């Protein structure tokens, strides 16, 4: 079997590539990634020499590059490639439209021409918008995205839906809640707070810190994507959640507690414009239909993740010292 994984050099993609290579010996995998600021081949240093693994640099919106990646055909495409950070989409939405919207359409069209057997589109619970105190997102919750990031992901989901409806493409969409775990770029809440705490720097909490996210370990997400890619019904959406709703401030305090750092490092900063208040996922469909279950609870997963960042300081220090610093200064400098 031959699988094409896009965005495999990013956080979730690299965890997925490693999982597939380890647990599916029958799969040859081509990782197609543009290596944007978020793509990092160091994330796959331990598997890059495997004969079943290949890498091609390219952008999913580049038709010729995608056709080259599909020249030998593919049984399955798993599409992780995206601009993924809400705050960056507020600063500049252009790359989000380019990659997430245009790129998804180019990939869908190329997959159809190459007669790819299955297209798994990795999406987010953020397409559903924000919840009040009660309730959960289900697969039938109306799409109502609030940020340029989530709107671009919602647009890509609709393009996938249209490809299924119009052309009968065998595409499946997964929508997952907030991931955490090894190799997450330190612009997202958990790795930013862990690495800042390790450096004794202030921890910037937006607004009152009472926004709620449903945290899932990246390994659980990757196993759910694998199940949906192998056994999901074409045309279906599957929600994936961590069953671990936490307020941001509680998560940040727990990180400081585990690292033995004082709460005085917390710095309340100006809120993110349009900040979604609460996300929570009902994942019963993928549990009952595909038999997926979570392995991690949040407390163990957080402790394990903190340990990983303590043991991989060079990995995140290189990122934080590089071009990421310019975004950090621009975004947090004025808050």
Q: Which residues bind ligand TYD (CB under 6 A)?
A: 86, 126, 178, 188-189, 192, 204-206, 211, 213, 248, 272
Per-residue interface string for the shown chain with ligand NAD, residues 122-161, x marking contact by CB under 6 A = x-x----------------------------x--------
- Of the candidates 292, 145, 119, the residue with the CA atom closest to the CA atom of residue 221: 292
Q: Indicate which residue of 28, 33, 83, 125 is catalytic.
A: 125
Residue 249 makes contact with ligand NAD by CB under 6 A: no
Of positions 5, 18, 21, 61, contacts ligand NAD by CB under 6 A: 61
Q: How far is the CB of 187 from ligand NAD (least distance, A)?
A: 9
Q: What is the DSSP string of 7-47?
A: TTTSHHHHHHHHHHHHH-TT-EEEEEE---TT--GGGGTTT
User: Within its chain, how far is the Cα of 209 from the centroid?
Assistant: 22
Span from 19-27, 82-90, 243-251, 272-280 in contact with ligand NAD (CB under 6 A): 82-90
Distance CA 49, CA 174 (A): 30
Mark the segment that binds ligand NAD (CB under 6 A) among 54-62, 108-116, 190-198, 248-256: 54-62
Determine what percent of the chain falls in helix, strand and coil, rounding each to the nearest 5. Answer: 45, 20, 35
> Which residue lies nearer to ligand NAD by CB, 9 or 116?
9
Q: Does 214 bind ligand NAD (CB under 6 A)?
A: no
Q: Find the shortest distance in angstroms from Cβ 309 to ligand NAD.
A: 15
By CB under 6 A, tell whether 82 contacts ligand NAD: yes
Reply yes or no on whether 125 is catalytic: yes
- 99 makes contact with ligand NAD (CB under 6 A): yes
Q: Is there binding between residue 242 and ligand NAD (CB under 6 A)?
A: no
Told to judge if 149 belongs to the known catalytic residues of this protein, a careful annotator would answer yes
In the bound state with ligand TYD, the residue whose beta carbon lies nearer, of 111 and 224, is 224
The 10 Å Cβ neighbour count of residue 26 is 6
Q: Determine if 103 is a binding residue for ligand NAD (CB under 6 A).
A: yes
99 touches, from ligand TYD, ligand NAD, none (C-beta below 5 to 8 Å by class): ligand NAD
Rounded to the nearest 5°, which phi and psi values hold at 333? -60, -40
Which lies closer to ligand TYD via its Cβ, residue 55 or residue 268? 268
Ramachandran bin of 73, using left for φ above 0, alpha for ψ from -120 to 50, beta for the remaining angles: left
- Shortest CB 213 distance to ligand TYD, Å: 5
Q: Which of 29, 44, 81, 249 binds ligand NAD (CB under 6 A)?
A: 81
Q: Which residue has the tokens 């599909």?
A: 70
By C-beta, is 270 or 284 nearer to ligand TYD? 270
- Token pair recorded at residue 68: 């080259």
Residue with tokens 């305090």: 253
Q: Which is nearer to ligand NAD, 5 or 197 (CB)?
A: 5
Angle at 323 between CA 40 and CA 54, to 5 degrees: 15
Can 199 be counted among the known catalytic residues?
no
Q: Within the chain, where are the H helices? A: 11-23, 63-69, 86-91, 94-96, 104-113, 148-167, 189-199, 218-231, 248-258, 284-290, 298-311, 313-321, 324-333
Instruction: Judge whether 221 and 179 are in contact, CB under 8 Å.
Output: yes
Is residue 140 helix, strand or coil?
coil
Chain positions 156 to 185 lying near ligand NAD, rule: CB under 6 A, are: 176, 178-179, 185
Q: Which residue numbers are catalytic? A: 125-126, 149
């Amino acid at each position: 079997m031959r699988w094409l994984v896009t965005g495999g050099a990013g956080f979730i993609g690299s965890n997925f590539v490693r999982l597939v290579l380890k647990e599916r010996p029958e799969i040859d995998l081509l990782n197609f990634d543009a290596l944007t600021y978020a793509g990092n081949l160091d994330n796959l240093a331990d598997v890059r020499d495997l004969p079943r693994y290949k890498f091609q640099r390219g952008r999913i919106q580049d038709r010729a590059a995608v056709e080259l990646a599909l020249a030998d055909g593919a049984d399955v495409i798993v599409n992780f490639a995206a601009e993924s950070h809400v705050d960056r989409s507020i600063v500049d939405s252009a790359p989000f439209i380019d990659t997430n919207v245009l790129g998804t359409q180019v990939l869908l069209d190329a997959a159809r021409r190459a007669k790819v057997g299955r297209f798994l589109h990795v999406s987010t619970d953020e397409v559903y918008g924000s919840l009040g105190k009660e309730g959960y997102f289900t697969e039938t919750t109306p799409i109502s995205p609030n940020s340029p990031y989530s709107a671009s992901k919602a647009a890509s989901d609709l393009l996938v839906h249209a490809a299924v409806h119009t052309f009968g493409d065998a595409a499946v969409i997964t929508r997952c809640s907030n991931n955490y775990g090894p190799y997450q770029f330190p612009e997202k809440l958990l790795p930013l707070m862990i690495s800042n705490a390790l450096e004794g720097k202030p921890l910037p909490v937006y607004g009152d810190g009472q926004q709620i996210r449903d945290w899932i370990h990246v390994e659980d997400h990757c196993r759910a994507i694998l199940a949906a890619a192998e056994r999901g019904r074409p045309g279906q959406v599957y929600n994936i959640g961590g069953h671990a709703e936490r307020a941001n401030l509680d998560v940040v305090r727990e990180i400081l507690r585990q690292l033995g750092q004082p709460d005085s490092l917390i710095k309340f900063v100006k809120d993110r414009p349009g900040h979604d208040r609460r996300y929570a996922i009902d994942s019963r469909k993928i549990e009952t239909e595909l038999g997926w279950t979570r392995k991690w609870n949040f407390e163990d997963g957080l402790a394990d993740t903190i340990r990983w960042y303590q043991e991989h300081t060079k990995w995140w220090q290189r990122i934080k010292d590089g071009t990421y610093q310019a975004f950090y200064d621009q975004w947090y400098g004025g808050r």
